Amino acid sequence: MTSQACVFGNPIAQSRSPIIHHHFAKQFDIPLKYTKIAPSLSGFAPAVEQFFSCANAVGANVTLPFKEEAFQLADELSSHAKRASAVNTLINLNGTIRGDNTDGRGLIADLKYHGVDLANKSVLLLGAGGAAKGSLPAIIDAKPNSVYIYNRTPSKAKSLVDSTENYASCQVACFSGGDSEKAFDLIINATSLSLHDEVPSVPKSVFCENSIAYDMVYLDKPTSFMEFARHSGSQVQIDGLGMLIEQAALSFQQWFNEHPKTEGLRHQLRK
């Protein structure tokens, strides 16, 4: 029987998830139909119910703007989802819908692929939206020395810092921007600004020669954030395509108990 999976989001036309998951399924000869579903802003819950009423629905990915609603409606939650208060993966366990969040582990897997280990590093996380929220638990699990968070709306950065109170094993604090002499080992852009060719308003001094700049956005050219980092002295810049692939691989693994290889897809999607 052909398994069914999907991605819920609105808008969703641009999503590459069907290409990614069909590529993974092929590796294991798993018959899979993976579709894109764009519920109306008030129509997420009924769309999920309808999708999972289908006997061969194994799971779903969830993207903007439904990750928090998915967190509310899942029957049970992984520890990653609980700490992030957001769900990007739904798994059908014989009718019980489990919610997980693979964004952060996808980010860490991609950093590892690029030879970046966060242990004892100083991290600056830019943004406090869904992507930052989803990634922060896994960033903290990777045992950095400190994580500073900067966001245009400071109250959201503060809430994100506060949300780590019960589990953070390192220093987690707000970064106020402005003039700073402090350079970070890793600066992660979890804002959507690169989609508009803009950059977060942090000083150039957050970068130094050894800083690694990571932009969760990916385009067919270096993003504005990657360019900003390069002009500010950073020698290594990475975009978010690998994170997209790795977080999808972690979803796929939970649906089919198989972890797909991601290397080939990295090259295919880059073309």
The secondary structure element, H or E, covering residue 209 is none
Among 193, 199, 206, 250, binds ligand NDP (CB under 6 A): 193
Catalytic residue among 26, 33, 36, 67: 67
The whole-angstrom separation of Cα 171 and Cα 165 is 10
143 is a catalytic site residue: no
Verify binding: residue 151, ligand NDP, rule CB under 6 A: yes
Question: Does an H or E element contain 237, and which?
Answer: strand 236-239
What is the C-alpha to C-alpha distance for residues 94 and 79, in angstroms, rounded to an integer?
A: 20
Q: Looking at 19-27, 89-97, 148-156, 166-174, which segment touches ligand NDP (CB under 6 A)? A: 148-156
- Nearest-CB residue to ligand NDP? 129
Q: Which amino acid is at 151?
A: N
- Determine if 195 is a binding residue for ligand NDP (CB under 6 A): yes
Tokens of 37: 């579903």
User: Considering the rule CB under 6 A, would residue 244 count as an interface residue with ligand NDP?
Assistant: yes
In the complex, least distance from residue 146 CB atom to ligand NDP, rounded to whole angstroms: 20
Using the rule CB under 6 A, give the single segment among 3-11, 90-98, 151-159, 224-232 that binds ligand NDP: 151-159
> Which one among 19, 38, 64, 219 touches ligand NDP, defined by CB under 6 A?
64
Half-sphere exposure of 203 (CA within 13 A, CB side): 12
- Residue 185 interacting with ligand NDP (CB under 6 A): no
CB of 102 to ligand NDP, least distance (A): 9
- The length of the chain in residues reads 271
Q: Any contact of residue 250 with ligand NDP (CB under 6 A)? A: no
Alpha helices in 38-167, H assignment, sequence order: 44-52, 67-73, 79-84, 103-113, 130-141, 154-163
Question: Which residues within the stretch 203-242 sit at the binding site for ligand NDP (CB under 6 A)?
Answer: 216-217, 240
CA dihedral 180, 182, 188, 190 (to 10 degrees): -30
Query: Whose CA is closest to 97, among 137, 136, 50, 64?
Result: 50
Interstrand relation of 89-93 and 96-100 (parallel, antiparallel or unpaired): antiparallel
- Please, what is the minimum distance in Å from the beta carbon of residue 86 to ligand NDP? 9
**What are the φ and ψ backbone dihedral angles of 93, each rounded to 5 degrees?**
-105, 85
User: Which is closer to ligand NDP, CB of 6 or CB of 217?
Assistant: 217
Asked if 243 touches ligand NDP (CB under 6 A), the answer is yes
Instruction: Work out how close the CB of 54 gets to ligand NDP at its nearest, in angstroms, rounded to a whole number.
Output: 26
Please name the residue that has the structure tokens 């950093």.
Answer: 111
156 binds ligand NDP, rule: CB under 6 A: yes
Please list the active-site residues: 67
Q: Which residues bind ligand NDP (CB under 6 A)?
A: 64, 103, 106, 127-132, 151-153, 156, 190-193, 195, 216-217, 240, 243-244, 247
